[in-house]
Amino acid sequence: MAETIYDPPALAKGTLRVTPLGGLGEVGRNMTVFEYEGKLLIVDCGVLFPEEHQPGVDLILPDMAPIKDRLDDIVGVVLTHGHEDHIGGVPYLLRLKSDIPLIGSGLTLALIEAKLKEHRIKPYTLTVKEGDHETIGPFELEFIAVNHSIPDALAVAIRTPAGLALATGDFKMDQLPLDGRLTDLRAFARLGEEGIDLFLVDSTNADVPGFTPAERAIGPVLEQVIAAAPRRVIVASFSSHVHRVQQVLDAAAAHGRRVALLGRSMVRNMTIAADLGYLNVPEGVLIDYKKAQHLPDDKIVFMSTGSQGEPMAVLSRMANQEHAIEVGPGDTVILASSLIPGNENAVYRVIDGLTKLGANVVHKGNAKVHVSGHAAAGELLYCYNILQPRNVLPVHGEYRHLIANAKLAQDTGIAPERTIIAENGTVMDLRDGDVEVVGQLDLGFVYVDGKTVGELTDSDLKDRRILAEEGFISVICVVDRESGKLIAGPEISSRGFAEADHVFESIKPKIVAALDEASGNGVRDTHALSQVVRRTVGRWVNTAHRRRPMIVPLVVVT
C-alpha cells in the first residue's frame, strides 16, 4: 500500500491515467477516474454506509476533490449496475454539474433516475446493453454482460491508443442464473485475444475458495421455510435484489400466500423492475401493505428492507417494537442477505431483538437463504486464465481481499510487479503495456450528515464518540477583569458522566486555585483561562474516575 502523499506529474501524451477515488480497502464508495488527452471518464460513483464509530453519519461519499475543478472535462459516468455502492454518490456528483452524461443499462438508469428525481435533478442519460459499442470523447467503450445479484450488470472495456482496460464491476459466474443471463466469457476470451493491458477486477470474494453457489439454490430453501411457517413470514433483503424478491414471490405463490412490500426503496425499486420486465409478478400475489394487515397470519409474506440492521429500516423498527407490524411468537423472519463488513453488531442486535419477541429468525448462519453476488477464487482463476491480462488492479474490497486477488493473479503466471495493490488516490499511468504508479493523492472521507455534505470532520466524529461513551462536564466561572478574582462559580453540571453532582465538590477548590494562579500571572484572556479550567478538570477526572468525558469550560471576564 502506498503511504507517501505526492502529486503526479503532468499526464504525458498517449498515456491513460487511472485513479480510484473509492472502493479500495473498503466495500463501497466505488469510483474510478480514467483520463486520456485531457478528458475524464468515470466508472461508477457509489456510497459507503457508516459503521458504529461514525455516529450520526448517513452516507460516506468518495472524495471528489481531484475532479471538482475539472467538471467540464468529464465526458461521462459509466454505471456498471444499480447497487448503492456503485450509484449512490451520483446525486452528489450531479449537484456539482447536472449535465454530466450517465451511461448504463436500462434497469441501472431507471434506478438512478428515480433516485435523482428525489434530488430534483433530471439527468442526461445514454442507455446501453451488452454488445454495444460507444465512443465517448477519446474513449471507445464496449459493454459486456456479467452476472450479479441485480439484473442488467455490465462490465466495460475501455479502449484508447494507450491500451485496453477492462473493468468488471461486480460480477460472478453463475452458470444457472434465474434470468438466463450469463457472464459473457466468450466476450472475455475475445478481449483476451486482443490483449488486455489493465484488468480492474472485483475482489470481494477473492479469499473464498471454490465457486459461488447458484442463486437458484435459494428458491427451495425459501419454499421450505415459508411452507413450514405457522404464522406471518417477514423476509428482509436489499431493496435492489430483484432475483431474491422474485424467488420470494414464487415461493409465496406456491404456498397460497400474498406478498406486501415494505420500505420506500423496496416499493420503488420493485415497481421499476416489474414495469421494465425484470420482475415477473405472479397474478394476484402482490397486495398493498394496509390491506395485507387484514389477511390471516398464515396467508401473508412481508418483503422488507433492513437486512443490514440499519436503525431506521423496517426490520430494525420491528425489532424495537416501533413498527405497526408487531412481531411475536410463531412469526418467521428470514434475513436473505449477507453481512456487509462493519454491520455485524447491528445485524446481531436485530436478530436478538426479534428472537426475544418470539420470532423464528432464519439467516445465513443457520440456513442457505443467501448466496453472494461476487466471484469466488475459482471463478477469478478462470477469468485470469481466459483473459491473461498484462497488468491487474484488484478493486472493490478490503485490503485482505485485494491481496488475495493479487495472489490468485500471480498463481496464474502474472508477474508480481504487474499486480498492483493500490489504495484510494493512487495514480497509475498506462502506456505501451506497462503500468506505473506516479502519484498518491491525499483523499479522505466525505460525510453526508443530514442536509450537510462534507462539513462533518473526523474531529467532529471523535467528539460525538466521546459524548456517547464518556458524557460531558460543563464548568461556568465568572472572573473580575481588574483583580482577576473569581466572583461567581465554578458551577459544574454533567450529562452521561454517571456520577452524582456531589463528587464535583472536591474539584471546585482546585479550579479556584488554578484560576487564581493564572490571574496572578496576569492572564485575563477568556480562552486561556478556559484552557486552565479544562486541564484542571481533565487531570482530576482522569485520575480520580478513570474517565475522559468532553469538558466544556466557559469563563466570563467581566
- Could you state, in order of their start, the residue ranges of all structural domains in the chain? 16-210+372-448, 215-362, 458-557
User: Cα(264)–Cα(262) distance, rounded to whole angstroms?
Assistant: 7
Identify the three-state secondary structure at position 481. Answer: coil
Q: What is the pLDDT of residue 33?
A: 98
452's grid cell: 450537510
Q: What is the DSSP letter of 167?
A: E
0.95 exceeded by the pTM?
no
For residue 94, the Cα-to-chain-centroid distance in whole angstroms is 19
Q: Identify the helix (H) or strand (E) that includes residue 236.
A: strand 233-236
User: Cα(497)–Cα(545) distance, rounded to whole angstroms?
Assistant: 10
Domain 215-362, what fold? Rossmann fold (3.40.50)
Q: Identify the helix (H) or strand (E) that includes residue 426.
A: strand 426-431
User: Cα(289)–Cα(272) distance, rounded to whole angstroms?
Assistant: 18
Identify the three-state secondary structure at position 500. Answer: coil
Look at residues 270, 281, 218 and name the one whose alpha carbon lies nearest to residue 239: 270
Residue type at 168? T
Residues with Cβ within 8 Å of residue 162, at least 6 apart in sequence: 14, 15, 16, 36, 197, 430, 431
- List the pLDDT tens digit at each of the 558 positions of the chain: 446 899 999 999 999 999 999 999 998 899 999 999 999 999 999 998 776 677 677 788 999 999 999 999 999 999 999 998 999 999 999 999 999 999 999 999 999 999 999 889 999 999 999 999 999 999 999 999 999 989 999 999 999 999 999 999 999 999 999 889 999 999 999 999 999 999 999 999 999 999 999 988 888 988 999 999 999 999 988 888 888 899 999 999 999 999 999 888 889 999 999 999 999 999 989 999 888 888 999 999 999 876 565 655 788 888 888 888 888 899 999 888 766 665 667 778 888 888 999 999 888 777 777 888 899 999 999 999 999 999 999 999 999 999 999 999 999 999 999 999 999 999 999 999 999 999 999 998 888 777 777 677 777 777 777 777 778 888 998 988 877 788 887 888 888 876 666 778 888 888 888 888 888 788 778 888 888 888 998 888 888 888 888 888 888 888
Residues with Cβ within 8 Å of residue 411, at least 6 apart in sequence: 381
Q: What is the pLDDT of residue 341?
A: 60
How, if at all, do strands 360-362 and 332-335 pair?
Answer: parallel
Which superfamily does 16-210+372-448 belong to? Ribonuclease Z/Hydroxyacylglutathione hydrolase-like (3.60.15.10)
Beta bridge partners of 557: 479
- Which DSSP string do the residues of 61-100 spell out, in sequence order? E---HHHHTTGGGEEEEE---S-HHHHTTHHHHHTT-TT-
Q: Are 109 and 136 a contacting pair, CB within 8 Å?
A: no
Which segments of 257-381 are extended strands (E)? 258-261, 300-304, 332-335, 360-362
CA distances from residue 365 to 302, 307, 338 in whole angstroms, order as listed: 21, 14, 10
Q: What is the pLDDT of residue 264?
A: 85
User: Cα(202)–Cα(190) distance, rounded to whole angstroms?
Assistant: 20
For residue 174, the Cα-to-chain-centroid distance in whole angstroms is 24
Q: Please give the torsion angle defined by the CA atoms of residues 540, 541, 546 and 548, in that order, rounded to the nearest 10 degrees.
A: -130
243's grid cell: 432475483
Domain pair 16-210+372-448 / 215-362, same fold? no
Identify the three-state secondary structure at position 139. Answer: strand
Identify the three-state secondary structure at position 26. Answer: strand
Class of domain 458-557: alpha beta
How, if at all, do strands 198-202 and 163-167 pair?
Answer: parallel
